[in-house]
Amino acid sequence: MSPKRPQACYNPLSSNPQVEGIMADWQQVSGGITAPKGFQAAGIAAGLKPSGALDLMLILSDTDAIAAGVFTTSQVRAACVDYCRQRLEKRAVARAILCNAGQANACTGTQGWQDALESAAALAAALNISAEAVLIASTGVIGQRIKLEALKQAIPELTMAASPAGAEAAAKAILTTDLVAKSIALETHLSDRPVRIGGIAKGSGMIHPNMATMLSFITCDASVSPHLWQEMLGRAANRSFNQITVDGDTSTNDALLALANGQSRTPAITEPGPEAQKLEAMLSEVCVYLAKAIARDGEGATCLIEVNVTGAVNDAAARLIARTVAGSSLVKSAIFGRDPNWGRIAGAAGRAGVPLSKSS
């Protein structure tokens, strides 16, 4: 029997008061994924999981939102990943995110692809929006198709349940082997107006850098250009979800999707600058919080290890060393056994592929 995993919903945010040189002047607020203005959410039991637990999630923006995504680097990808990538390449705008739990719909061939299309179409019809405005995600057992009829029958209930109070249910509906839901919302001020970012995530096993078996959904009420929002999300992913590891395995369904609907009524951020830096710093903090919650909830985990690297020539080198140390079985076994053997850390750093000085 695996040891009991540590609680994943912890209070501290980043241990670093600065993110890429920006002082953290945001504050944590309630509301999770629906804390930003103009967002609703829902989570219901649609009969997709044999346990009868919540298993179907909706995030809905009241208006068109700029959409961005970061996905698994695996060559074996679920239908939902290819679907979202194609949608975002054509038009970086969305109104809704639909996620089912229970079946990954990965390695399911042309039938699985058709299931993805029909899922999006069913939600679009119920919301009276274009199917191109729907993004989808799936999590569960690889090789199993979505229980499509059960999903379609549940769509009316799902859309009726959507509300600003639906954040908690949405966070629970995406879970699989997770022990706890993972949710956060932060607020700052841009141009003297409040701006919020909310996020939820799931992930517990098959977790490793370059995306892993995880899903995360981000909402924001700032107004930001598509190319800038995508660039921000990519950098935030590299600072967070691409820096965690539990068991060294990656998977087929990983997706980080972010919507920004502009409902804060702040001036549009279209170019790099102080406002863009501030928004990106808060986005990164949300992602770091959720990434740590995933690692802390790792299957069989008993503690959370955070590796800080100083003196590296650049961020890429520091991240490579940190990932190698964090992923080392010898380092993890030493920490699990309460045996502070620093030699194992040094050994892992030495094989990371980063040149070290002679004094190291």
Q: Exposed/middle/buried for 86, CB within 10 Å: 0-12, 13-18, 19+?
A: exposed
Of residues 213, 219, 250, 266, which has the active-site annotation?
Answer: 213
Q: What is the 3-state secondary structure (H, E, C) of the chain?
A: CCCCCCCCCCCCCCCCCEECCEECCCEECCCHHHCCCCEEEEEECCCCCCCCCCCEEEEEEEEEEEEEEEECCCCCCEHHHHHHHHHHHHCCEEEEEEEEEEECCECCHHHHHHHHHHHHHHHHHHHCCCHHHEEEEEEEECCCCCCHHHHHHHHHHHHHHCECCCHHHHHHHCCCCCCCCEEEEEEEEECCEEEEEEEEEEECCCCCCCCCCEEEEEEECCCECHHHHHHHHHHHHHHCHHHCCCCCCCCCCCEEEEEECCCCCCCCECCCCHHHHHHHHHHHHHHHHHHHHHHHCCCCCCCCCCCCCCCCCCHHHHHHHHHHHHHCHHHHHHHHCCCCCHHHHHHHHHCCCCCCCCCC
**108 catalytically annotated:** no
Instruction: Identify which of 21, 4, 29, 65 has the alpha carbon closest to the alpha carbon of residue 239.
Output: 21
Q: Are 129 and 14 in contact (CB under 8 A)?
A: no
Alpha-carbon gap, residue 171 to 178, rounded angstroms: 11
Would residue 52 be called left, alpha or beta, if left means φ above 0 and alpha means ψ between -120 and 50 degrees? left
Q: Are 11 and 293 in contact (CB under 8 A)?
A: no
> Residues with catalytic annotation?
213
